[in-house]
Amino acid sequence: MKKIDVEICFGTTCFVLGGSQLQDLERVLGADLRDKINIIPRNCLGLCKDEKYNQAPYVKVNGQIVDTASIERVIDKIKSEIDE
């Protein structure tokens, strides 16, 4: 199985609005999920000004955007990608 790319935005807006907590994602994940993902830190995903998304912080899981991202929401998205 190809690993799932998890891109975490660490731009200023995302970082201030909760993205800083997403730094713990790898530590929080169980070994079963940790081995299935690539965590890719990004300086900015450039989504803050796009009106079709709710609010920062933003994460992309296999190119699909998770807005108002939290560790729980990102883990749920990773699990849904695995189940597909």
Give the chain's domains with CATH numbers.
Answer: 4-83 (3.40.30.10)
pTM of the complete model: 0.90
Helix (H, G, I), strand (E, B) or coil at 66: strand
Q: What is the pLDDT of residues 6-58, one digit of tens each?
A: 999 999 999 999 889 999 999 999 888 899 999 999 999 988 877 776 789 99
* Cis before 41 (ω within 30): no
Buried-exposed string 44-58: b where 16+ CB fall within 10 A, e elsewhere: ebebbeeeeeeebbb
